[in-house]
C-alpha cells in the first residue's frame, strides 16, 4: 500500500483541532469555518478511496468519539469511516472498541512497514504529528497532501516537530480552492537539492563575525587597530613644532573620517598615534 500523510494545516503550521475537538486555548473549528462544498467533495473523495487508515492515539480517540454516533451529514462518509480498517499506533491504548480497529504497539515502524507491503491502494494518515515524526524517521511516507488554510492560529500542535531531521520534498501537484485553501502535494526526494546560489550567497567568516558582534550585547568580538606615523620624531624636528602641529590636526581629521567610513569607533588619538575598534579585520585593514 502507498502511505499518504494528509493534514489540515494553518498558515503557521498548526494541525490541532481543525474541527470541534478540544483546543487548549479554545481555538478550534478553524478549518470548518472556511469549509465549502468544493473542499468537502475533495475531502470525501480522498477518504472514500482509502483502503485503510493509520492514526496516532490522540487522533484515533477524537475520531472514535465522533464517527460511531455521527448522524448528521453525509451518511456514505459515516459508513465508510466506521467500516474501513483502522490502525492506531499506541503503546498506552489497552482496548479499541471502534469497529475494525487494530492497535499497533511496540515496534510501530516495522508493523507499518508490513502494512505497506500488503497489496492495496492508499494507507491514509490523518494529522497525528507524533506518528508522522516516527514515520519520517524511518522513511515510510510515500506522499504528503497538505491542505493549507488561510488562517494564522497562533497556538497549537504543529504537523512537524521542532528539531527533526531535514527532509527534502518534490512538489507533485497544487490546487487552489475557492475558499482560499491550497492543496500542496509532495513526494519525498532522496536527492539533496543544490544550485549556484548556494555558493553565490555563502557568508564569509568576516560577515558571520560581524553579525555575531552586532547581535551579542554581552560580548563583543572586535578588531583593535593601532597606528602611528613612521619616524614622527624626525619629521617633527625637521618641520618645526608649529608646522608639525598643523600636519597632525590634518592627519587626525583624515584618519577619523576613514574610521567612520569603515564603521569603526575612534577610541583615542595620542600624539601621532591612533587607536580604533572595528567589528572585523577586513574593515580595520581597509581603513
pLDDT digits (tens, 9 = 90+) for 152-185: 999 999 999 888 899 999 999 999 999 999 999 9
Half-sphere exposure of 87 (CA within 13 A, CB side): 21
Task: Report domain extents, the chain.
Answer: 2-188, 203-286
Cα separation, 277 vs 266, whole angstroms: 7
Nearby residues of 62 by Cβ (< 8 Å), 6 or more positions away: 19, 21
- Residue range 181-209: mean pLDDT, rounded: 93
Is the model's pLDDT at 136 over the cut of 80? Answer: yes
Q: In the sheet where 182-188 sits, what is the strand order?
A: 101-104, 86-89, 50-56, 122-126, 2-10, 143-149, 182-188, 169-176
Hey, which CATH number is domain 203-286, 3.30.70.1230, 3.30.1600.10, 3.10.290.10, 3.40.30.10? 3.30.70.1230
Cα separation, 42 vs 274, whole angstroms: 73
Q: pLDDT tens-digit profile of 209-240? A: 888 887 775 555 678 888 888 887 777 778 78
Split at pLDDT 50, 70, 90, the class of 151 is very high
Query: Which stretch of 33-42, 181-190, 216-225 has the lowest confidence by average pLDDT?
Result: 216-225
Hey, which CATH number is domain 2-188, 3.40.430.10, 3.40.50.150, 3.20.20.370, 1.10.10.10? 3.40.430.10
Cα separation, 227 vs 270, whole angstroms: 10
Instruction: State the pairing for strand pair 143-149/86-89.
Output: unpaired
pTM: 0.72
Amino acid at each position: 500500500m502507498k502511505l499518504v500523510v494528509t493534514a489540515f494545516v494553518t498558515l503557521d503550521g498548526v494541525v490541532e483541532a481543525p474541527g470541534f475537538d478540544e483546543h487548549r486555548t479554545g481555538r478550534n473549528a478553524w478549518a470548518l469555518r472556511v469549509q465549502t462544498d468544493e473542499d468537502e467533495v475533495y475531502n470525501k473523495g480522498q477518504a472514500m478511496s482509502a483502503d485503510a487508515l493509520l492514526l496516532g492515539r490522540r487522533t484515533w480517540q477524537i475520531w472514535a468519539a465522533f464517527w460511531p454516533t455521527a448522524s448528521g451529514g453525509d451518511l456514505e462518509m459515516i459508513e465508510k469511516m466506521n467500516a474501513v480498517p483502522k490502525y492506531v499506533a499506541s503503546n498506552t491504548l489497552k482496548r479499541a472498541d471502534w469497529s475494525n480497529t487494530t492497535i499497533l504497539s511496540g515496534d510501530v515502524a516495522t508493523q507499518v512497514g508490513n502494512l505497506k507491503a500488503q497489496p492495496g491502494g492508499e494507507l491514509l494518515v490523518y494529522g497525528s504529528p507524533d506518528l508522522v515524526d516516527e514515520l519520517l524517521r524511518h522513511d515510510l511516507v510515500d506522499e504528503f497532501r497538505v491542505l493549507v488554510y488561510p488562517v494564522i492560529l497562533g497556538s497549537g500542535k504543529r504537523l512537524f516537530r521542532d528539531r527533526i531531521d531535514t527532509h527534502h520534498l518534490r512538489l507533485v501537484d497544487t490546487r487552489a480552492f475557492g475558499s482560499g485553501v491550497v492543496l500542496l502535494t509532495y513526494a519525498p526526494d532522496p536527492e539533496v537539492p543544490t544550485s549556484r546560489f548556494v555558493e553565490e550567497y555563502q557568508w564569509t567568516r568576516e560577515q558571520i563575525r560581524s553579525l555575531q558582534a552586532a547581535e551579542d550585547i554581552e560580548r563583543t568580538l572586535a578588531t583593535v587597530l593601532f597606528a602611528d606615523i613612521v619616524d614622527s620624531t624626525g619629521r617633527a624636528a625637521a618641520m618645526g613644532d608649529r608646522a608639525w602641529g598643523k600636519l597632525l590636526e590634518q592627519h587626525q581629521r583624515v584618519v577619523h573620517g576613514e574610521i567612520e567610513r569603515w564603521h569603526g569607533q575612534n577610541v583615542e588619538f595620542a600624539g601621532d598615534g591612533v587607536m580604533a575598534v572595528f567589528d572585523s579585520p577586513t574593515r580595520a585593514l581597509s581603513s
